[in-house]
Amino acid sequence: MYEQASHALLNEILIALKPEIGNMRLRHFYTRLGANFYAIHSLFHLLYGGRTDFKEQMVSLVETLAFRYIERVPHLRRSDLERERDYNWFMSQKWVGMALYCDRFAGDLKGLRTRLPYLQELGVNMLHIMPILDCPPGHSDGGYAVRDFRNVDTRYGTTEDVEALSATLKRRDMLLVLDVVVNHTSDEHEWAQRARRGEKKYQDYYYVFDDREMPDTYEETMPEIFPTTSPGNFTRDEAMGKWVMTVFNSYQWDLNYHNPAVLIEMIDIILFWANKGADILRLDAVAFLWKKIGGTCQNEREAHLLLQLMKDCCQVTAPGVLFIAEAIVSPSEITKYFGEDAINAKECEIAYNAALMSLLWDAVATKNTKLLNLGIKNLPNKLERATWLNYVRCHDDIGLGFADSDALLSGYDPAQHRRFLVDYFIGRYSGSPARGLPFGENSETGDARISGSLASLVGLESALENNDEGAIDTAIKTILLLHSVILSFGGIPLLYYGDAIGMLNNLEYLADPYQRDDNRWLHRSRFDWSKAERRHQHGTVECRIFSALKRMIALRKEITAFADFDNRQLFVVDNPNLLVFSRTDQQNSRNKVLVICNFNVEAQALLIAPLLPHGLFQQGSMKDICSGERITAENDALMIPPLSCYWLAD
């Protein structure tokens, strides 16, 4: 968009730029800056226009973009141009992700390079390495309390190791995902240290208050994130003699984006890691970016403006780099993190599908799909050229974030139903085989979330203990069923590192004084390579899970209808135990895949009549892509075996 005021300012800035910027060959930089400057300027003005130093800050932002562009090495610039041309590249069904801790999985970054064959064997080609930046040895929140945003923690390696890994991945056509913890820093970060020593400039990087007056006002409307381990949203820093906002742990200081310098620093850091070869950046806790008295300080409009700015700026310097929004918020809020408009208000290309995740766990516990179907039906439409990150579980607790309105429509009292689910997964509900732990129980609100490994939550741990073949079978089927949904739903499936071999809960964290109060470590165990070896031993649990997943992943990559082009149709069917949807190939609308999942422990019937008008089951039978078998309707109905899934094609 061309607009005089902003273009005049752009010209002024370009003339005033430091000579080393003006002289470089920056053709692509300038065309992108020209295209995005109106948006950048308007957004920056909306947020910071009232400041006397507005113009200086604006110049400093543009300089940051230019300097990082100058540093961007030729092969990354080439990849930017390729991705500009092939702009739907990440919507393809060929991508399958996995999140892992580099130390827990492979010792360190060098070790990780030697373990890539395992990922490739499974078919994983997008690697999210959990945060690896320098953290204090003790209070690190699993890497989310960063002490130095530009250095890799010596426990994992060096920045050069990241670059080497990125190059290795590129050769194997794999993507690298890194975290940028945009919302807060460790209290040992240099900015926090200097704030503590009384430097006003750095106190302004955080929400710092002399007394309890402002904190108390904020607290009236702010919920608590870690009520058991870190109650309240403010911490008294004795050395500074002041209160500082700490929404997460008391040692994680919230950055204050009311200060433009903070935003510019963070954009600089984003571009720094883009330049080290990250293909995708996972922006942590984006819902929390903007705090405002009287609000919940989550999902504020300004948080979205900040993300739009980050995106617009990244598109100027490193347009091939994508963002993942980590916003574990209500379904109606999540989709807003894609942005409200693909051109004018773009935010993150990818977002965690926390809604689907929580709905899947509901279906596991209730063994029906009432809420799952409603939740999917009512999932707000997302932007074009935006895609979900679909996951069964991740390194965090499982929050039951489905919409209350959907729970009501399913015939549940939302609070009571959530209590049932927590009880079910922590094994407090009689007959439940699950072995989870409650996380973040809030006695005031009654809320709780769930920790535990996938295998332990679906009953594999108890089944193995009881040597109960039937229960082992049920657990394995559930693991595969859940993955069959995330592999076919539309979006990038993100596996969690231990799940493909059925890793169980691990209590080692209790021996670590810095971990023992945070039971999310229950499902963050050291990857067991001897257990992984058994994936090749026919008949073992590991082999049964791994080989089936590997097969489904390979098949997914071949099914063009699974690419994410807003091409899913949900079928509302009579049987409340089934999830039924079709996916249609964008290139050829006759090429459809029908996905049918049965979450019940009994076989279930599906009448084919409602499918016929959609060109499905025309011949009375379809082929299951996974097993290769033909599935034939009898008496106009199909029988879907317990806890199983079909991917049906003609």
Q: Is 447 a catalytic residue?
A: no
- CA dihedral over 238, 239, 240, 244, signed as positive or negative: negative
User: How far is residue 190's CA from residue 147's CA, in Å, rounded to a whole number?
Assistant: 7
CB 600, CB 367: distance < 8 Å: yes
Q: Name the residue type at position 524.
A: R
287 interacts with ligand OTU by CB under 6 A? yes
Checking phi first, is residue 277 left (phi over 0); if not, alpha (psi -120 to 50) or beta?
left
Backbone angles phi, psi at 343, to 5 degrees: -105, -50
Q: In whole angstroms, give the CA distance from residue 489 to residue 333.
A: 20
Q: What are phi and psi of 35, to 5 degrees?
A: -70, -35
Residue 41 vs 523, nearer CB to ligand OTU: 523
Nearer Cβ to ligand OTU (39/98): 98
Determine, following the binding rule CB under 6 A, whether residue 328 of this chain makes contact with ligand OTU. yes
Between CA 279 and CA 80 the distance in angstroms is 10
In the numeric block, the tokens 């999985």 are attached to 105
Task: Decide if residue 284 touches ligand OTU (CB under 6 A).
Answer: yes
Phi then psi dihedrals of residue 62, to 5 deg? -65, -40
Segment interacting with ligand OTU (CB under 6 A) among 257-265, 279-287, 377-385, 540-548: 279-287
- Euclidean distance between CA atoms 57 and 76, whole angstroms: 28
Calculate the CA dihedral of residues 302, 307, 310, 314 and round it to 10 degrees.
-160
Q: How far is the CB of 186 from ligand OTU (least distance, A)?
A: 10
Minimum CB separation from ligand OTU for residue 115, in Å? 23
Which one of the spans 132-140, 186-194, 283-291, 385-393 is the region binding ligand OTU (CB under 6 A)?
283-291
Residue found by looking up tokens 């091939």 in the block: 320
Scanning 80-88, 121-129, 358-366, 394-402 for contacts with ligand OTU by CB under 6 A, the matching segment is 394-402
Q: Which is nearer to ligand OTU, 328 or 579 (CB)?
A: 328
Residue 564 sits in the site that holds ligand OTU (CB under 6 A): no
- Alpha-carbon distance of 355 to 336, in angstroms, equals 13
From the list 285, 310, 348, 383, which residue makes contact with ligand OTU (rule: CB under 6 A)?
285
Q: Say whether residue 225 binds ligand OTU (CB under 6 A).
A: yes
Please identify, among the stretches 21-29, 280-288, 451-459, 561-569, the one whose residues bind ligand OTU according to the rule CB under 6 A. Answer: 280-288
| Catalytic residue, candidates 237, 254, 326, 362 | 326
| Binding footprint of ligand OTU, residue count (CB under 6 A) | 17
**Cβ atoms within 10 Å of 422's Cβ, excluding its own:** 23
Instruction: Report which secondary-structure segment, H or E, holds 139.
Output: none
Q: Is 610 in the site for ligand OTU (CB under 6 A)?
A: no
Beta carbon nearer to ligand OTU, 119 or 303:
303
Catalytic member of 161, 254, 284, 312: 284
Q: Classify residue 582 by burial, with Cβ atoms within 10 Å: 0-12, 13-18, 19+.
A: buried
Nearer to ligand OTU, 260 or 399 (CB): 399
Map the footprint of ligand OTU across residues 413-472, applying CB under 6 A: 449
DSSP, collapsed to helix, strand or coil, labels residue 7 as: helix
Does 327 participate in binding ligand OTU (rule CB under 6 A)?
yes
Active site residue 284: yes
**Residue from 279, 349, 362, 397 in contact with ligand OTU (CB under 6 A):** 397
The pattern of x and - marking residues 134 through 163 that bind ligand OTU according to CB under 6 A reads: -------xx-x-------------------
Q: Rounded distance, CA 306 to CA 640, Å?
A: 47
Tell me the catalytic residues.
Answer: 284, 326
Q: Which residues bind ligand OTU (CB under 6 A)?
A: 141-142, 144, 181, 225, 248, 284-285, 287, 326-328, 395-397, 399, 449
